Structure 1
Amino acid sequence: MEEPIIIKVSKTTFPVKPKLKPTPRTPSKTPESKYWSSFKTRPIDNLAFSIPSLAFSPSPPHPFAAAHSASLSLFSPRSLSLTHTISSFADVVSSLSFRSDGSLLAASDLSGLIRVFDVRTRTPLRRLKSHLRPVRFVRYPVLDKLHLVSGGDDGLVKYWDVAGESVVSELRGHKDYVRCGDCSPADANCFVTGSYDHVVKLWDVRVSDRNRAVTEVNHGSPVQDVIFLPSGTLVATAGGNSVKIWDLIGGGKMVYSMESHNKTVTSICVGRMGTQGGEEATELRILSVGLDGYMKVFDYSRMKVTHSMRFPAPLLSIGLSPDCNVRAIGTSNGIMYVGKRKGKENTESGADGSLGLVNVEEPQRRVLKPSFHRYFHRGQSEKPSEGDYLVMRPKKVKLAEHDKLLKKFRHKNALVSVLGGNDPEKVVAVMEELVARRALLKSVMTLDRDELGLLLMFLHKNSTMPRYSSLLMGLAKKVIDLRLEDIKASDALKGHIRNLKRSVEEEIRIQEGLQEIQGMVSPLLRIAGRR
């Protein structure tokens, strides 16, 4: 009885591609990254000085203001262009805040003065002078149009009656500079302040004891910024390289600490993930910026950083418009990066800034249905609808010479054809295919001296490359063992072997040097980590 003949059918997909090619480390873009990348950023570089504070108006169309040196500038949210500049300050402007109706703007400076302006006419209306040291923050309560909160380097927090230009309450308790604060979105009488004494205090102006806060938490490092989250029960604090979330109702318990910045976090704000179907979205995010030049987006419902963006300068301030369409970031070198979301606008601005055009409904196009005769006679340019099954004509693949030879099982000729080129990826791809077919060593055995010289030259140039070394170093040993007699008989082949030996010895020296450096650096990194 005759033995059956076994025929191996190759399942190779052509053209062959290298399997050793490293996959990119950059992950595919998530919907979150696509959303935040949709803010097309452009720099505004005519401010010249650092920008410590940004503020958006709560009322549409949400103009925004930026503090720089002894001036503040107002910008249009539609054109992102400068509309007005107010330069009547005696010292550097440190903080800005719009009133809840957007008609008034409060600004503090390092002389200890707080000024209130009419946004429409830029007319100064009030001068609030009580701080003896620089004022670092000023805030309008969300639910109150008659009062202001301020804090400064004198360690005092003041609650102002704006109309009477007088201090209603002077709150003491911080032991160092008061740098930041925010007002509760749920109670007009409550606000929080943060200080360089590492402490964040929750105040209630109805409490008779002016030196005692309702609740306080210790951030663990000088506090640079503090904000209320929309619920009114949580606050986020920024200081050092961390952003922490605290539960005020739970007695000041820390909920989470986000430490993804490499340097000091300077400013944080709350943003929403745009709008959906005309309704306000419920997906809330904390945006943070720091001196490392990074902007981070933190989803505090899932407790993870969902997006990160790098800027070419240390960042000092960040703001997001209430309609989530404009984002502004201030830097230490006077450049403001303003981003506006791409999208179709339903309204256009007139020359005076008012809404000029109204929506006009477009006539709806009649939808073709499968019951219509014309449905089956649509042209080649017709776009498929969601329910259509699209049949694509397969593209004709143009094969290279080595792919054609592999299809004909001419293994040696395929190897020689790629060795004559200058593409190491193709050579490695063919070698991997020959290994899978168990034909690589057979092909090496049948090479003549000139072809063997091409192979040794390729091994000399590429065997020490990390991407290919696992395959080529083993192949080099096999080639020397199998073709030793031919190598001894040829001076040219001996030269290739000497070159290969030198390149391997040089790579070994480099690796030994790197190991020595690693041995010296590792103890230093461990010591730095303990500190």
Structure 2
Amino acid sequence: MADLLVEQPQEITISKTFPTKPKLKSKPKTPSKTPESKYWSSFKSHQISNLISSIPSIDFSPISPHHFAAANSASLTLFSPHTLSPASTISSSDVVTSCSFRCDGSLIAASDLSGLIRVFDVKTRTPLRRLRSHARPVRFVKYPLLDKLHLVSGGDDSVVKYWDVAGESVVLDLYGHRDYVRCGDCSPTDGEMFVTGSYDHTVKLWDVRVDNKESVIEVNHGNPVEDVIFLPSGGMVATAGGNSVKIWDLIGGGKMVYSMESHNKTVTSICVGKVGKESGEEALQYRIFSVALDGYMKVFDYAKMKVTHSMRFPAPLMSIGFSPDCMTRVIGSSNGIIFAGRRKAKEDVGESKVGNFWALGSVEEPQRRALRPTYFRYFHRSQGEKPNEGDHLIMRQKKVKLAEHDKLLKKFRHKEALVSVLGGKNTENVVAVMEELVARRKLLKCVVNLDDEELGLLLGFLHKHSTMPRHSGLLTGLTRKVLEMRAEDIRASDALKGHIRNLKRSVEEEIRIQHSLQEIQGVISPLLRIAGRR
């Protein structure tokens, strides 16, 4: 690097109007924001913390405005999707384990640990039906998407039941699981098919039209199954258990398509939802959302088979729900806190403004006077307008603020610029100024013209930073030149001799460290070579 200090013929920049920057500094890589991360960052976070215990189940109403229900302790709480505040509460005689809205949103079914399933009117909170047949706690209850008259349930008695809600009677008892039935889901394309998951590691597909009451397809997840959902096509299901989420092709006979294992602890709940821009607009794609006891929510794009987004929450997560209009995300935790997120739509803002105007009465828009060349407003028209998508923007260049050493370099006061930057504490700026002086072929001339005090500043800087690997190439060569050119001045000054002694000690220490590293490398290299052969 000492060759850089030798004056060579090259093109010289006469004027300098930009700040000096070090050439040897590596630029850190900042990850660019993807459209997926921008979409999820648009959700405004909100915590609902007035609930009593764990939130094992969350379900959204399929009818706009898509209220959602959360099961907590011995109650079922209904929330408004706009304000994220409780709208009403339905009490139960035991701990509620699961809830499900009917396809028209007017009824909701809730199961509890006593083995009872009750159907409520959403508006009046009146209990309409009591379904009791399970001998042990009921863990899930589900309304078929295309059916208003039946229910599917499963519990710790290992039995799956198909109910006639109007008659409060069991249509079918389906036996096949050998352990607790903890989850289930109904087909989005066929109201008479549903799937259930159990702690016996199996997931079974049932068809109520089959006479022998046996499952149509059975797959083995490999772990106790915590949740299972149909994907929108109806031909695939996703299962959660252990630390993995697996996708199965039912049309292909139950073949596993992919296994996503990005969670560190047990995955407790999954759901599927559409990722869109705004409410009412066409959704972009479907995603699988999973939550686990490790506190993470993962967004999985099963079209590309990769995790596209991840969020961390300060508690183990038990349940998740995503609204059909892509506007609300709700996550239930084990400590009774609901982590909700709501996107703010343009129509919401418009409605609130209109609502305020209605409260005040009719408001007429004030008439503005016509623009004339004699008005001040005439010369400032359209300056507050926002650009359209196809407009070409001409931005004003930001004024560059130059530091003191940059101003001195601009005026060709090279020695003063070097002394000014040496007085500061920014190593990168000092190296940048030195590189600029090398490019101008003025660094050695500046070294010659330094007085004893300024030379002391330079030697102190070289003592501290000449052994740094990032700058050693430049500073080691400069140190050699300084010792050659200012040897007589250094011998005549005790202060400069002290700097040289310190510099010598730092160089000797660096040499000792390098020798030690070479010895260690000599010991490790044969071992690595032997390990590579094996």
Give the TM-score normalised by structure 2. Answer: 0.81
Aligned-pair CA distance for 1:393: 4.5
Cα deviation, 1:426-471, whole Å, max 9, x if unaligned, reads 223323434555655665565444233323433555567xxxx333
**Runs (5+) with no aligned partner, structure 1:** 364-375, 520-531
The aligned residue for residue 413 of structure 1 is: 416
The partner residue of 1:398 within 398, 401, 404 is 401
Distance change in 2, residues 1:240/1:480 (3 Å): same
Cα deviation, 1:356-404, whole Å, max 9, x if unaligned, reads 99xx9x99xxxxxxxxxxxx97747253644555444444433222113
The count of residues paired between Structure 1 and Structure 2 equals 487
The aligned residue for residue 372 of structure 1 is: none
Cα deviation, 1:322-365, whole Å, max 9, x if unaligned, reads 1111111111111101111112226859xxx9xx99xx9x99xx
Q: Percent identity?
A: 70
Letter of the 1:477 counterpart: T
Return the alpha-carbon distance in structure 1 between the equivalents of residues 98 and 387 of structure 2.
53
The aligned residue for residue 85 of structure 1 is: 89
The aligned residue for residue 179 of structure 2 is: 176
The aligned residue for residue 264 of structure 1 is: 266
Distance change in 2, residues 1:454/1:223 (3 Å): farther
Is 1:62 equivalent to 2:35 in the alignment?
Answer: no
The aligned residue for residue 110 of structure 1 is: 113
Return the alpha-carbon distance in structure 1 between the equivalents of residues 88 and 209 of structure 2.
39
Structure 2 residue matching 1:207: 3-state secondary structure: coil
Q: Which moved more, 1:423-432 or 1:331-340?
A: 423-432
The aligned residue for residue 17 of structure 1 is: 21
Contact residue 462 and residue 479 of structure 2 kept, 8 A: no
The aligned residue for residue 315 of structure 1 is: 317
The aligned residue for residue 370 of structure 2 is: none
Contact residue 384 and residue 390 of structure 1 kept, 8 A: no
Return the alpha-carbon distance in structure 1 between the equivalents of residues 57 and 279 of structure 2.
32
The partner residue of 1:324 within 323, 326, 341 is 326
The aligned residue for residue 287 of structure 1 is: 289
Structure 1 residue matching 2:173: 3-state secondary structure: strand
The partner residue of 2:245 within 229, 243, 246 is 243
Larger radius of gyration: 2
Q: Which moved more, 1:271-280 or 1:218-227?
A: 271-280
The aligned residue for residue 337 of structure 1 is: 339
Contact residue 25 and residue 470 of structure 2 kept, 8 A: no
Letter of the 2:219 counterpart: V
Cα deviation, 1:98-156, whole Å, max 9, x if unaligned, reads 11111111111222222211111111122222222222111111011111111122222
Structure 2 residue matching 1:261: 3-state secondary structure: coil
Contact residue 445 and residue 482 of structure 1 kept, 8 A: no
The aligned residue for residue 40 of structure 2 is: 36
Aligned alpha-carbon RMSD (Å)? 3.6
**Runs (5+) with no aligned partner, structure 2:** 1-7, 366-377, 525-534
The partner residue of 1:146 within 136, 146, 149 is 149
The aligned residue for residue 527 of structure 1 is: none
Give the TM-score normalised by structure 1. Answer: 0.81
Return the alpha-carbon distance in structure 2 between the equivalents of residues 125 and 489 of structure 1.
104
Structure 2 residue matching 1:470: 3-state secondary structure: coil
Structure 1 residue matching 2:124: 3-state secondary structure: coil
Aligned-pair CA distance for 1:58: 0.9
Return the alpha-carbon distance in structure 2 between the equivalents of residues 310 and 107 of structure 1.
29
Higher relative contact order (CA 8 A, sep 6+): 2
Structure 2 residue matching 1:471: 3-state secondary structure: coil
Aligned-pair CA distance for 1:295: 1.5
Correspondence list, 1:313-462, <5 A: 313-345=315-347, 348=351, 379=381, 381=383, 383=385, 385-386=387-388, 388-434=391-437, 436-437=439-440, 440=443, 443-444=446-447, 447-459=450-462
Return the alpha-carbon distance in structure 1 between the equivalents of residues 491 and 113 of structure 2.
85
Aligned-pair CA distance for 1:483: 3.8
Distance change in 2, residues 1:169/1:499 (3 Å): farther
Correspondence list, 1:165-244, <5 A: 165-210=168-213, 212-244=214-246
Aligned-pair CA distance for 1:55: 0.7
The aligned residue for residue 53 of structure 2 is: 49
Letter of the 2:476 counterpart: K
Return the alpha-carbon distance in structure 2 between the equivalents of residues 25 and 259 of structure 1.
27
Distance change in 2, residues 1:271/1:410 (3 Å): same
Q: Which moved more, 1:382-391 or 1:48-57?
A: 382-391
